[in-house]
A and B are shown apart, each in its own frame.
Chain A
Amino acid sequence: MTSVRFVFPKVRLAELIKTPGGLTVAEALERAQDNLDTLKPTCVAELTALLEFAEAALDRLDPAFDDAGLADLYAIAVRGIGAGAVCGLPAADEALGSLCDLVDHLRTGGAYDRAAVGVHVQSWRLLMNPDLPSEAARLMLDGLRKVSARYAA
């Protein structure tokens, strides 16, 4: 039989956040957003560099099941998630999430669809265009989600 023990630790953070001073919620959120805005150029540069790595990894991807190649692509895509929201390209984050889902499904299920991976990387390139109409981005993301969902267990 497993024994279970409960401890009620004192959380110092609970006391600290109540100490006088600090910020209002509105001020804090505005400051945090202003801080994030300073990262916009860095995020665009990082996403662009990752996209180039991903395109090169896609070119190297074997026509037959290529687990190592898929793992490379996953490692590239997962690093970019979160940058899109900061630099005003939130659709890029969603495309990367869908690519990670797809690669994970393929590796887990032992299935392989190089074209499905390719369409994700190509869409990533298109979604990096800040002038892309939002409706076009939405349709593209819907399509990507359907492609990755096809391989979900």
Chain B
Amino acid sequence: MTEETLVLFKNIRNPKYDKSLAAYKNSGGFKSLKKVFGMKPEEVVQEVKESGIRGRGGAGFPTGLKWGFMAKGTGKPSYLVANADESEPGTCKDRELMLKDPHMFLEGLMIGCYAIGCHHGYVYVRGEYFASIKSLNVAVDELYADGLLGSDPLGSGFNLDITIHTGAGAYICGEESALLDSLEGKRGHPRVKPPFPAVSGFNGCPTSVNNVETLACMPFILGDNGAEAFKSFGPQNNSGTHLVSLSGHVNRPGVYELRMDVNMKDIIYEFGGGISNGKKLKGVIPGGSSSPVMTADEVDVLYNFDDLAKKGTMMGSAALIVFDEDTDVVKLLHRITRFYAHESCGQCTPCREGTHWSRQIVRDFLNGNGSDEKLERLNRVGGNMMGTTLCALGDAAAMPIQSFVKKFPEEFRKYYATV
């Protein structure tokens, strides 16, 4: 298969589309919202469950289930927060959506708000996305002007506000509880769970945090026969189309909207146009920098949640980073460990100390001070962060280290072995 399947990108791929509210409405926008306003919230959640959509932020948790967990009857307001703090290295899909078709995402957010009974939705956008923030703010203003936001949109009797909130540069705020802390005006420290956000989230109220792309799928899913169609775009349990951010040594890097039954090889060689400069493939990081690395002979696999999990790695946020035969993977790993050392919030011991220490060890190799013992130590220090921290950043830092050491041990040895 060499064609994109256009659901999320149907407007973006249209060269004449100008992302205005009028243009979005012309493309059939807000029909789903109108339909949703005629349904009961539980019916909407049910429909989302049936579509089988799994969160696009990285963890792949079923969205319908998440909404179903929202605490009811607490006497507190419920909140829906769109996680637009896209910062996993390799991922640049949400930026495209927010920048080029903000209304589709906002309609999805509104559908989500209705489904969980939220009257004020927040969009937590990473602070560096200046253009996306602007684009979203313009779109929200259009919606208020049109009466689609505010009191009683489309005669639904459902009051709804949306606020665009800017972050300020912290990878960890992509973690949902850290994001909520940050949204509350605090340092972005992941929280102890339970309680989960569905019980105690934003300001202690029931909250659902959903990825931008996940929400952008909602207008389609809640459209006519949408859930069924959505399910048909991929193998069982891996519903829908998704946005793949392809980067690294390929001829045509970019964000592609693909079904979930596309082979990773095809993504690299067909969509990506093969390895740049006629080089050979050495490996890929399949799901953002935190996913375990794969070697060139492992890439013949369907690019979806379950098939990659079977291979011992993960799809994460569908950020496919490709590297060619000339790549120095030790340098690459050093860059990855540096990233996690920089982005660790520092509250948990293993992550605070481990990310920095592992970075120091990798640097030792680059400085010619490697040894078998250090390779083993690197693996051990990395592994010790696995599963011992409050949030998943420890795991995210550990997985690349362990997988690089396992899959490319010779590359490390090259740095210290005497010829």
Asked if A and B are interacting partners, one says: no
A contact set with B: CB distance below 8 Å:
none
B contact set with A: CB distance below 8 Å:
none
